[in-house]
Amino acid sequence: MNSKQKVAVIGGGSWATAIVKMLCENLDEVGWYMRSSYIIEHIRRNKHNPNYLSSAYFDPEQLRFAEDINEIIDYADYLIFAVPSAFLQGELDKITTSLQDKVIFSAIKGIVPESGLIVGEHFHDIMKVPFENIGVITGPCHAEEVAMERLSYLTVACQDEGKARVLAKKLSCRYIKTKISDDIIGTEYAAMLKNIYAIAAGIAHGLGYGDNFQAVLMSNSIREMKRFIKKVHKMKRNINNSAYLGDLLVTGYSVFSRNRMFGNMIGKGYTVKSAMIEMSMVAEGYYATKSAFKIKEKNGAKTPIIDTIYRILYEHKDPKQEFLKLTDILN
């Protein structure tokens, strides 16, 4: 695989900014698509993203910016999508150029609302990208810690091991360690599900539950995740690996977790709408909950935690009463 492959990131948020920072450690030039000309000019002048991870500084000479998604697609061989799943189709609708021979990696942790599919399946089924050209980047890794250059770990999954290795090498640096996997579907579902369990952890905290209960909740969450993923994509995998359990733990416990923050607000009595306005950020787990509930209904997985969060967020049930019922189910 050609080490000179050009790489571009699509998205302007915290995770996109963190990925660009990693790539800049190894590449002379990184493509970066974002919609805002103001943000692009700000980065060119002040060397940082004013809205996300403002402590992460860039050399503008390394960055090839584009406001047109088609321009960045024509430029790059490897495209890393890092936009919220709720807005992905809006960006894909702008594409008029060909995705043929492009390698697509998703750093998106959620379900595409328009199709009800995880991102890799959406690119394959809707955008007709072959599975061997689709990959996933997953944690455990918070963008904020990348900005602070704290040691972090990534799992890069792709059906084509060579393509996974190419991107893993481009992301690796003194504060990023990478490993590869062939479990594209499983790691992407895990990345989606852990956001739901982080909302559960946040609600529990908001309701006043302590560390002892949180430990039980996380223990049950990883077992529930295993049951769910086994139903939708059965293959040999170790659910205790970092891409599954590790990503769940960091999202469930970290102060940087938007989904935990969102859940904490729900537990304290905020409505869904008021919590989202207060956060001014997207909590992927909110959208993932509805999709996961539909998928589990179709596949018959036993998911009491997902069911509980669904009832709270979409049926407007009382969090306190729902968690009282949940405590009798967990073990």
CA distance 221 to 39: 38
Looking at this protein, which amino acid is placed at residue 72?
A: I
Which of 282, 269, 267, 126 has its CA nearest to residue 207? 267
Here the tokens at position 83 are 């936009």
- CA angle, 214 then 216 then 220, to 5°: 115
Catalytic residues: 194
